[in-house]
Amino acid sequence: MINRKNAPHIVDAIDLNLRLKPYEKYILKNGVEVYAINAGAEEVMMIDWVFYAGNWYEDQNLQAATVNYLLKNGTSRKTAFEINEHFEYYGAYLNRNCIGGTVMLKEKILYIFEPGILNVREFFADGHPAIRMYGVS
């Protein structure tokens, strides 16, 4: 049984033997840099779409946070329900963050469904004010 009266031994972070997996860097035809980490035979894949936007680029207070919130509330072609149903159908999860100088769309999906879910742009690149602000086309 654990003795709760004695503090556990603390290991300094410098003494940890951490080995990060190597990454692979790709440059797409449009000049976008892609960094990939192959974590082995995992069934889940996470994709972070990072845009230079956010609080540092806003013209008015709360503009970036508001636009970020609106991303999942529908577009001119898809309702919020349709967007949510698409991701739910594939067992995927889409989250968005707006921090400092970047905006991030974080997509978590089962690897076997990757071809059907990967095109996030299909839902958001239709002239939605958020996409115009982030400069995605």
Helix (H) or strand (E) holding 123: helix 121-124
Work out the average pLDDT over 69-86: 80
Please give the backbone phi and psi of residue 44, each rounded to the nearest 5 degrees, phi first: -115, 140
Structural domain for 95, as ranges: 43-134
Inside any domain, residue 9: no
Sign of the Cα pseudo-torsion (70, 87, 22, 27, in order):
negative
pLDDT tens string 14-27: 888 888 889 899 88
What CATH number does residue 121 fall under?
A: 3.30.830.10
The confidence score (pLDDT) of residue 136 equals: 45
What's the chain's Rg over C-alpha atoms?
Answer: 19
Does residue 31 sit within a domain? no
Residue 123's pLDDT band (cuts 50, 70, 90): low
φ, ψ of residue 6 to 5 degrees: the values are -105, 130
Domain total of the chain: 1
Residue 92 lies in a domain: yes
28-69 pLDDT, tens digit each: 888 878 888 887 777 788 888 887 877 888 888 888 888 778
* Among 2-16, 58-72, 74-88, 101-115, the least confident range: 101-115
- In a domain, residue 12? The reply is no
Residue 119 lies in a domain: yes
75 domain-assigned: yes
Cα separation of 18 and 10, whole Å? Answer: 16
Confidence tier at 127 by pLDDT (50, 70, 90): very low
In a domain, 38, yes or no: no
